[in-house]
């Protein structure tokens, strides 16, 4: 660790919105700024530099940015009046999509940088301290970013860590901004991914979640050359790292679940039996309008293949209600798919038109009231399924990775194989260990349990809802 990193002279505050890739990127931005003497600040008040790492996926996300920028303007003025300074940067997907609007609407912003330029942040900070206007950098190629970010992390991520292996997307779903903000699909070569995973484990990580906007489209250069590796092959290599107890990956696309990946779920005990696999809709008409490239039946068959390989696999998903052209019968097909699959967890959203995407200019927009009603109906069903799944764990002994101290003295918090937060009374000496826990109670979003003797019993298999009426 450099001296500057050991005793920071300047304070950095980063706020992240959006997906886990933004959380990962925020960590890497802190890493590139550490050699410049920046250490973490508790909040914006104490910071010499504030970075807002933004998300553009739905409308409210950019509204939040502008209201936050308003608050920071006042803070920045106060600091300047007192003879100090605060560098204000906007990063992430809103920066990429709306760089010029940001500097026009909020001229007090010093730096606007897109997701592929974080390695150039030190240079931008230097330029911003000389320049009068804002410094904008929203270049694209992802390769340079990964090659040039520092290897060691200034602030280790802890027991559970994220590792970005893939960025960008070439799928162009009708509703989605990601292909425009994150650019073309790019996979990191396997060798630096494996090296980063080993470093994370050396820093205390026991669970690694591989990240990518389309993580299972991964096709990275193989370590010794030759054919590229798919995600299944990469997971196999990662499973050989001693001390790495658990692997996950997110977010996947149903179209890219290949046999090698299914086999990884069958063969690797480290690969957790929980998969986030967004389906968006259960109607083939709407799926076609969304340009998803799969039908409802394709999704069901992917789910079957995965559960055949790993019977205790639980699925999570994303849904959009009220995509342009969605009729009542299409929405019913979504409910039917949910009943048929049975999800342990799911996120559902009202369709939000994003400027520049094909769906935003489609003529047959769904009225807001209709979207609200559909969202409520879908969420009620999904909540019931989530509660039923959590209840199915009560009375079982499951392996829990202890991730940190709990809310109360003598309590620790951990994670089930199915990503449920688990609370139990135990010593914090267990942090970083996988321990058997008897589940005593289930809540909507978490479980509570007690340390059990011996080893965990067989996990439950995912229950299915009663089949949809024909």
Which of positions 182-201 make contact with ligand F3S (CB under 6 A)?
182
* Binding of residue 352 to ligand SAH (CB under 6 A): yes
182 near ligand SAH, judged by CB under 6 A: no
Smallest distance, ligand F3S to C-beta of residue 180, A: 9
The helix/strand count (H/E) of the chain reads as 14, 21
**Nearest CA-CA partner of 265 in 229, 212, 222, 315:** 315
Q: Which two tokens stand for residue 467?
A: 């089949």
Closest CA to 257 of 319, 290, 226, 300: 300
Alpha-carbon distance of 134 to 97, in angstroms, equals 16
Q: How far is the CB of 215 from ligand SAH (least distance, A)?
A: 9
Of 99 and 179, the one with the shorter C-beta distance to ligand SF4 is: 179
* Binding residues for ligand SF4 restricted to 208-227, rule: CB under 6 A: 213-214
Helices (H), 258-359: 259-267, 284-289, 296-309, 328-341
Q: Is 113 annotated as a binding residue?
A: no
Q: Is 181 one of the binding residues for ligand F3S (CB under 6 A)?
A: yes
- Applying CB under 6 A, what is the total number of residues that bind ligand SF4? 10
Using the rule CB under 6 A, is 278 a contact of ligand SAH? yes
For residue 103, what is the enclosing H or E element?
helix 92-105
- Residue list 158-177, contact with ligand F3S (CB under 6 A): 177
Cα angle 173, 175, 178 (rounded to 5 degrees) comes to 70
Residue 97 binding ligand SF4, by CB under 6 A:
no
Structure-block tokens of residue 209? 């979640």
Piece of 142-150, 170-178, 238-246, 436-444 that binds ligand SAH (CB under 6 A): 170-178
The only residue of 56, 145, 236, 253 in contact with ligand SF4, by rule CB under 6 A: 253
How do beta strands 38-40 and 411-415 pair? unpaired
Nearest CA to 318 out of 470, 173, 444, 180 is that of: 173
Tell me which stretch binds ligand SF4 (CB under 6 A): 76-84, 141-149, 175-183, 409-417.
175-183
Question: Is 451 exposed, middle or buried (CB count within 10 Å of its CB: 0-12, 13-18, 19+)?
Answer: middle
Does residue number 251 form part of the binding site for ligand SAH (CB under 6 A)?
Answer: yes
For residue 410, count other CB atoms closer than 10 A to its CB: 11
Binding segment for ligand SAH (CB under 6 A), chosen from 260-268, 344-352, 362-370, 455-463, is: 344-352
Tell me how long the chain is.
470
Which of 34, 41, 55, 287 forms a contact with ligand F3S (CB under 6 A)? 55
CB < 8 Å & 24+ apart, contacts of 30-33: 30/154, 30/155, 31/149, 31/150, 31/152, 31/153, 31/154, 31/155, 32/118, 32/119, 32/121, 32/122, 32/149, 32/150, 33/121, 33/122, 33/125
CB nearer to ligand SAH: pick between 128 and 320: 320
Determine whether the annotation assigns residue 176 to a binding site.
yes
Q: Would you say 460 and 396 are in contact if contact means Cβ atoms under 8 Å apart?
A: yes
Query: Out of 5, 12, 14, 21, which residue is the one contacting ligand F3S (CB under 6 A)?
Result: 21
Contact segment (CB under 6 A) with ligand SAH among 172-180, 240-248, 382-390, 459-467 equals 172-180
Contact yes or no for 18/57 (Cβ under 8 A) = yes
Binding footprint of ligand F3S on the chain (CB under 6 A): 18-19, 21-22, 55-57, 92-93, 177-178, 181-182, 213
**Binding positions for ligand SF4, rule: CB under 6 A:** 169, 171-173, 176, 178-179, 213-214, 253
Using CB under 6 A, list all residues that contact ligand SAH: 57-58, 175-176, 178, 213-214, 251, 253, 278, 280, 318, 320, 349, 351-352, 354
Binding-site residue set for [4Fe-4S] cluster: 19, 55, 93, 169, 173, 176
């Amino acid at each position: 660790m450099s001296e500057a990193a050991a005793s920071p002279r300047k304070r950095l505050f980063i706020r992240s919105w959006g997906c886990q890739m933004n959380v990962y990127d925020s960590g890497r931005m802190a890493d590139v700024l550490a050699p410049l003497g920046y250490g973490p600040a508790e909040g914006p008040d104490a910071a010499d530099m504030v970075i807002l790492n933004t998300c553009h996926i739905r409308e409210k996300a950019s509204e939040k940015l502008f209201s936050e920028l308003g608050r920071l303007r006042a803070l920045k003025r106060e600091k300047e009046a007192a003879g100090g300074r605060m560098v204000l940067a906007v990063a992430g997907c809103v920066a990429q999509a709306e760089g010029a609007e940001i500097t026009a609407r909020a001229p007090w912003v010093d730096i606007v940088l897109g997701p592929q330029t974080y390695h150039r942040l030190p240079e931008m900070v230097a330029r911003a301290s000389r320049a009068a206007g804002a410094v904008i950098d929203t270049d694209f190629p992802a390769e340079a970013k990964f090659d040039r970010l520092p290897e060691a992390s200034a602030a280790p991520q802890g027991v559970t860590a994220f590792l970005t292996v893939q960025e960008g997307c070439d799928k162009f779903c009708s509703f989605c901004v990601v292909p425009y903000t994150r650019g073309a699909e790019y996979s990191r070569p396997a060798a630096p991914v494996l090296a980063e995973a080993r470093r994370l484990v050396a820093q205390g990580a026991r669970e690694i979640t591989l990240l990518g906007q389309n993580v299972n489209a991964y096709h990275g250069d193989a370590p010794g050359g030759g054919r590229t590796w798919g995600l299944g092959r990469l997971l196999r290599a990662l499973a050989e790292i001693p001390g790495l107890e658990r692997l996950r990956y997110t977010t996947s696309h149903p179209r890219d679940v290949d046999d090698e990946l299914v086999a990884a779920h069958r063969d690797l005990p480290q690969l957790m039996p929980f998969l986030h696999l967004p389906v968006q809709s259960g109607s083939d008409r709407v799926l076609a309008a969304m340009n998803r490239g799969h039908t409802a039946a394709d999704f069901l068959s992917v789910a079957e293949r995965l559960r055949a390989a790993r019977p205790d696999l639980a699925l999570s998903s994303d849904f959009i209600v009220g995509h342009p052209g969605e009729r009542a019968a299409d929405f019913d097909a979504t409910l039917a798919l949910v009943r048929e699959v049975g999800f342990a967890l799911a996120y559902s959203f009202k369709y939000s038109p994003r400027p520049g995407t094909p769906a935003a200019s489609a003529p047959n927009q769904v009225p807001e009231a209709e979207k609200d009603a559909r969202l409520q109906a879908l969420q009620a069903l999904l909540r019931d399924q989530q509660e039923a799944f959590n209840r199915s764990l009560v009375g079982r002994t499951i392996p829990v990775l202890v991730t940190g101290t709990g809310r109360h003295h003598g309590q620790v918090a951990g994670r089930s194989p199915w990503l449920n937060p688990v609370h139990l009374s135990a010593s914090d000496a267990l942090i970083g260990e996988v321990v058997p826990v008897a589940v005593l109670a289930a809540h909507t979003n978490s479980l509570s349990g007690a340390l059990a003797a011996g080893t965990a019993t067989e996990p439950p298999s995912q229950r299915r809802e009663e089949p949809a009426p024909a």
